[in-house]
Chains A and B, each alone.
Chain A
Amino acid sequence: MSPAHTRLSRRQLLVSLIAIPLFSPRSVFAQTAGTDSDIARASALLTGRSTLAPETAMRVQELLSAQDAAFPSHLASLIRALETASGTDPQTLSDSLSDTDAATALAILEAWYLGYVGSVSTSSMDYDGKFVTYLQALMFEPTGDVTPRPAYSKRGANYWSAVPEGVAAPAMADNVATWGLAGLKPTTSPPDPDPAWLYMMQGYATTITAARAALAGGAAPLTSDEVNAKSLAAAQASAGAQTTGAQTSDSETREGDSK
């Protein structure tokens, strides 16, 4: 975050002085959810942020305690470890934790970054995840100048055609951004793929370095016939019956299906 984001203009300061006492429930709530609570101090140390809302920290504590009755004692252990460790760098602090304290720290960090605790599903209503925050979810902070928190765009129509902030765009044709026949259209047919990249697409390597090493060692991508045979065999692997609502609560990272 640049200092500009935290410095208030004279006008903003006046607006905030007028607005907070009259309308903000936070100032009232803050009396019971202070920045000196264990959860607030642990949250600050783990995230490296001193401006986290104390009432959100209390919500993290309440939800994690509801999930695991031992959370308060785990939190007490964690805050002792964090405050007796040297330094304030979140990475160094986290790396110094015992496995138990690290697990507690992970739960707190996930709540702050992702904005929920528990598990969620993309394909079933059978999940126990509980909402913590959306507008304060930290995972959006590092990208806030480039992409919106979904549903909260701060920009106008068509802003997205510009080169994103901080990107040095490679040279492109003048008509690259023109849709349709006046834009770029191919003059050749797609080539046969490089075997190493094909090998990756078949799920055998995640990086081109690993794929090339495998091919150098004698591996080869499957032929089309082999791909088809493997696919048909996978279909028959075992009796496939399931109920939609009872599918594994896959993480939110897996889905992107469109309508």
Chain B
Amino acid sequence: MSDYDADVIIIGSGTIGSHVALQCAQAGKSVIILEAGTKLPRWKAVQNFHEDAAKRNWNAPYPRLPWAPHSYMEGYIEATGDADFDYVTSYLRVAGGTTRHWAAACWRLLPNDFKLKSTYGVGRDWPISYDDLEPWYVKAERSVGVSGTAQDDQSGQNRGAYPPRSQDYPMPPEAMPYSVQRMTSKLTDMGYSIAHEPCGRASRPYDGRPACIGNNNCEPACPIGAMYSGDMTLEKAVAAGADLRTESVAFKLETGEGGAITAVHFRKPDGSDHQLTARRFVVASHGLESPKLLLMSDVANSSDQVGRNLMDHTGLTFSFLADEPLWTGRGSVQHGCIVNRRDEPSRAQHSAIRYSFRNLVPNLDIAPDLIEQGLRGEALDDAIRDRAGRYMQISTMSETLAIPTNRVQPNPDWTDSIGLPGLKVTYRLDRYVRAMLPQAQRDFANFAQAFGAEVLTAPNQWRNQFHIMGTCIMGDDPADSVVDKDCRTHDHDNLFVVTTGVMPTSATVNPTLTGIALAIRAGDTLVKEL
């Protein structure tokens, strides 16, 4: 009989925790997954979307749990920062995690993204290289089911097929929407490099999923499951033997002799406390929730870096009416982007930038103003059609640097229904991010000119992209980092932290695929030593 409740306990059932769980369960290890939230089937999320007034509130269709508040619930996140920027982030507490409502962009970092300090003299280097992670990216792309083309230059630097890949994407890209054809036609002439956005949407039937048919509802819920979400991997992990325990909020990791973690304490919605023991513990609870648990437990923090170095892709959004019909909204919510500024020498001075074309059906963006203006009847309908056809929105993904003063901490001044603290975030935009503004304005001016734009929203308001990085930062030096290259905490041999929060650089791409690659790699480490 074992002395432990499980070989490994994983805290968090999102795509990252589920990938670790799947790997361990498939190798015959006993696995318990603790999830603070509840299960919500896809059909119910879609029904909730249908019946809620706030169609553009990506959290709205998901559970609102008083014992596991999500980021949009009143008071849960108290943010302090710059006068011209409101820190907002969007994540869920639900089985399967926040990929339940993502847009499924599945990028690899570029090789230089792993060595920002040594290449450009700013930020940090990773303790591993692109080449180290490349085989794990391959596994991640297969698990998620990514559509993309290896024959593209994702750096925008005339490097041919780049970054280097040992294997092609598991599925070809979806067709290019007409609006992106128009973007490509006009902007390529100006010198801009348009790349396909690799995505976790099936472009043909894959792994039990149908091909995307353009429901244009990736956020907040793909109605047909063509888009990957973390609950798919979670189901596989459970089928492989992992024991999923929902409504179980981890609030303390207990340390024993020699610094080993001996137990996790968790609280149920009725306020009762429980504990479980394991050989290994994996904190995979999202980039803000993971450091919260570590700080509440006073573990893994000899460096004082837990919760610090918070990064997002805080950037700008430009929406406009073109002088021709483009018809965004046909297809998924995003397909292509402009990559010229991802890896230029200017990264030594300011943020790298990627420009992403948004492809939402824009009726909700334009109809309220037209109604307010007094248009009625046919004039209103004609104006909606005209403007919906000419609407375009382009956002920047701007690279931020790991700054220790940008941080998340538990907020004891606010507690949820079971007495656990909220979050306190301090986040300011430094000169490095702000100095991308002149470059972005110049590029946006060129885009605007190419399409004879009438401005709806000028690109001068900062917004987060909800990509959390840096909060459990990875490094070789235990004095200034939380986890090592294997996602193992420097302070506790049997405690791993696997989240996009370990990423020491933010680059300009959605971090989830990198998080999944790290998860599969950490799972491999766990299986070998258990």
Contacts and interface: CB of A to CB of B under 8 A. Distances in A.
Interface in B213-266: 213-217, 219, 221, 223
B191 A190 contact: yes
A118 B53 CA distance: 9
The binding surface of chain A is classed by DSSP as loop
B208 interface: no
A158 B203 CA distance: 8
B336 to A, nearest CB: 8
Given A153-B213, A161-B176, A237-B84, 4 more contacts: A180-B196, A186-B340, A188-B191, A235-B84
Nearest to A225: B438
A50 interface: no
18 contacts: A94-B374, A125-B59, A140-B363, A143-B361, A157-B174, A160-B177, A160-B331, A164-B327, A164-B330, A190-B340, A240-B84, A241-B79, A252-B364, A256-B393, A257-B463, A257-B465, A258-B510, A259-B98
B215 A243 contact: no
A140 B329 CA distance: 12
Given A106-B371, A150-B361, A181 B441 contact: no
B175 interface: yes
A152 B510 CA distance: 27
Interface string A136-168: 001111110011111111011111111110110
A224 B435 CA distance: 9
A259 B191 contact: no
Contact of A151 (B82, B217, B327): B217
A147 B329 contact: yes
Interface in B177-214: 177-178, 181-182, 184-185, 188-196, 203-204, 211-214
Given A123-B57, A125-B59, A231 B73 contact: no
Nearest to A259: B102
Interface string A217-239: 00000001001100110111111
B120 interface: no
B462 to A, nearest CB: 9
Contacts of A46: 376
A153 B212 CA distance: 10
Contact of B191 (A151, A181, A191, A203): A191
B114 interface: no
B191 A235 contact: no
A25 interface: no
B88 A247 contact: yes
A148 B72 CA distance: 28
Contacts of A143: 329, 361, 363, 384-385, 388-389
Contacts of B428: 235
Nearest to B317: A256
Nearest to B55: A252
Contact of A194 (B195, B374, B449): B449
Interface of A: 46-48, 89-91, 93-95, 106, 109-110, 113-118, 120-127, 129-132, 134, 138-143, 146-153, 155-164, 166-167, 169-170, 172-173, 176-194, 197-198, 200-203, 205-208, 224, 227-228, 231-232, 234-247, 251-259
Nearest to A110: B371
B149 interface: yes
Interface string B297-322: 00000000000000000000111000
A187 B378 CA distance: 46
A181 B152 contact: yes
B445 A245 contact: no
B213 A193 contact: no
A151 B192 CA distance: 32
Contacts of B466: 257, 259
Nearest to A49: B377
Nearest to B338: A190
Contacts of A192: 442
Interface in B467-524: 467, 510, 512
B73 to A, nearest CB: 5
A131 B82 contact: no
Contact of A258 (B56, B105, B319, B363): B105
Contact of A184 (B82, B194, B437, B449): B194
Interface in B77-93: 77-90
B529 interface: no
A99 to B, nearest CB: 12
Interface residues of B, number: 151
B60 interface: yes
Given A116-B53, A127-B53, A201-B445, A207 B160 contact: no
Smallest CB-CB A-B distances: 4 pairs: A90-B377, A129-B53, A259-B102, A193-B445
A66 B376 CA distance: 25
B506 to A, nearest CB: 15
A246 to B, nearest CB: 7
B413 to A, nearest CB: 11
Contacts of B273: none
Given A170-B324, A193-B446, A256-B395, A235 B434 contact: yes
B73 A245 contact: yes
Interface string B89-123: 11000000011011111000000000000000000
B185 A120 contact: no
B81 A150 contact: no
A256 B176 CA distance: 21
B188 A184 contact: yes
Contact of A191 (B75, B188, B446): B446
A139 B358 contact: no
B89 to A, nearest CB: 8
B288 to A, nearest CB: 11
Nearest to A173: B185
B485 to A, nearest CB: 27
Nearest to A231: B434
B223 to A, nearest CB: 5
Nearest to A163: B178
A125 to B, nearest CB: 5
A246 B463 CA distance: 17
Contacts of B46: 151
A161 B438 contact: no
B328 to A, nearest CB: 8
A216 to B, nearest CB: 17
B161 interface: yes
Contacts of B188: 184-186
Contact of B78 (A152, A239, A243): A243
Interface string B431-447: 10011011001111110
Nearest to A230: B437
A251 B372 CA distance: 13
A113 B380 CA distance: 10
Contact of B438 (A94, A159, A227): A227
